[in-house]
Structure 1
């Protein structure tokens, strides 16, 4: 089976035990991506978020033999529950999703001649004790506070390590305000014709 693993954050530069058989390709589906989840180490990580800027994500070919193995492998790499691992199957027995991210991924996978795709579907998460809106300004304030308190190491590393093509609205604000520019990217391959 040809199953794509979709990525837009740390999967790209820190694949760990992720079973992939190709380099990360730059011509993945276009999805709504933004920094919006406070994770371990005070990192503000990338998620798919409704209303976010639509960006072309990356993908690699899974080296697993089945969709179930691909989902489990991604779940293990992400250290999360199965319910946060999303997938689509493109075969004669499957109906295309009606709308949303799954429909976009299904359409993209069909064009690419893939049998399916897996991706992480973690949602937004605020810092503990945060009250009020979790908008761009609140997220930028969170990062400012980390920097002012000398605790921004992991957050800066994550944001700077994100693939340079993931040019979210908040990333532009972070670069301007905090100076956290992208690091040199991973060994990705741009597919000809794009």
Structure 2
């Protein structure tokens, strides 16, 4: 009798579907945010784990304020609350069922460490080291995403150059690069999505020494 009672209680506690089978926990809906080379520099190992990029992601403050070693000193796009311009970002739906896998996909693609990874869990179960832009939570709620993942690399212009980030200082830095670095910088800026409109990009695209690149360079980057 005791055994039957325990069995009945276990049945009552287990959520079931209409067909009598135990209901599985629904996989979270995961979005990956992108705004730079993540979108145009295709990497099959990363790209096979997400759907197409869509242009109506959350508005983020973006600027080309990170000096990239892998791009020979070129300036790359990062979320920059102090120097950035408000830009719409892009997003892609991850095909992963486990958020940890989606985070690892992006971390490996960007060649960075966990403390530089941004993520937002709508249920508040986890937090990340980088600041979470205020626009992400309402956007995730509107789109029905449970988890949002992005690259949280900070700007490093002042640390690397000793000068505060300004458009003139950034242009001066780019002009000082070797030809290969200038070519990579031009490719990165010109190939950024049209929805990325920052003060530096606007200034660079009218500079006669900063022409549209003729052929893509093969390099890695974050963003």
TM-score, normalized by length of structure 2?
0.72
Q: Which has the higher contact order (CA 8 A, sep 6+)?
A: 1
Bigger share in strand: 1
Larger gyration radius, structure 1 or structure 2: 2
What displacement does 1:69 show? 0.8
Aligned-partner Cα distance in 2 for 1:23–1:102? 23
Pairing of 1:117-156 with structure 2 (within 5 A): 117-126=148-157, 130-146=161-177, 149-151=178-180, 152-156=182-186
Structure 1's consecutive aligned runs of 4 or more residues displaced over 6 angstroms after TM superposition are none
In angstroms, what is the RMSD of aligned CA positions?
2.5
What is the match of residue 176 of structure 1? Answer: 206
Structure 1 regions of 5+ residues with no counterpart?
184-194
Aligned-partner Cα distance in 1 for 2:173–2:136? 32
What is the match of residue 186 of structure 1? Answer: none
Count residues with an aligned counterpart: 178
TM-superposition CA deviations, 1:85-119 (whole Å, max 9, x none) = 1100123x6599xxx74431111011001111100
CA contact (8 A) 2:78 2:153 kept: yes
Match among 73, 77, 83 for residue 42 of structure 1: 73
CA contact (8 A) 1:47 1:122 kept: yes
Secondary structure of the structure 1 residue equivalent to 2:96: coil
Pairing of 1:101-112 with structure 2 (within 5 A): 101-112=132-143
TM-score, normalized by length of structure 1?
0.82
What is the match of residue 188 of structure 1? Answer: none
What displacement does 1:128 show? 8.0
Aligned-partner Cα distance in 1 for 2:156–2:50? 32
Is 13-22 or 48-57 further displaced after alignment? 13-22
Is 150-159 or 22-31 further displaced after alignment? 150-159
